[in-house]
Amino acid sequence: MTPHIEAGRGDYAQTVLLPGDPERAQWMAQTFLDAPRCVNRRRGALGFTGRFRGKPVSIQAAGIGVPSFLIYANELLDFHGATTLIRTGTCGGLSQDAPLRSVVISSAVHPESALSGQVFGLYHPAGPDPALHALAVRKAVELGIPHSAGLTACSDVFHHPAGRARFDEAKALGAVAVEMETNALYRIAAHFGARALSLLTVVDHVVTGEETDYRERQALFTDMTRLALEIAAES
Catalytic residue among 34, 129, 156, 204: 204
pLDDT of 117 above 60? no
Q: What is the pLDDT of residue 113?
A: 57
Residue 102 CA to residue 221 CA, distance in Å, equals 9
- Give 230's contacts (C-beta < 8 A, 6+ positions apart): 139, 143
Q: Rounded to a whole number, what is the distance in angstroms from the first to the last CA of the chain?
A: 27
Q: What is the pLDDT of residue 121?
A: 42
pLDDT of 69-94, one tens digit each?
A: 999 999 999 999 999 999 999 999 99
DSSP string, 111-179: ES-TTSS--TT--S-B---HHHHHHHHHHHHHHT--EEEEEEEE-S-SS-TTGGGGGHHHHHTT--EEE
Q: What is the pLDDT of residue 124?
A: 61
Amino acid sitting at position 110: H
pLDDT confidence tier of residue 218, bands split at 50, 70 and 90? confident
pLDDT confidence tier of residue 231, bands split at 50, 70 and 90? very high
pLDDT of 40 above 80? yes
pLDDT of 200 above 90? yes
Residue 122 CA to residue 108 CA, distance in Å, equals 14
**Domains of the chain from N-terminus onward:** 15-234 (3.40.50.1580)
DSSP H or E segment with residue 190? helix 182-192
204 a catalytic residue: yes
pLDDT of 99 above 80? yes
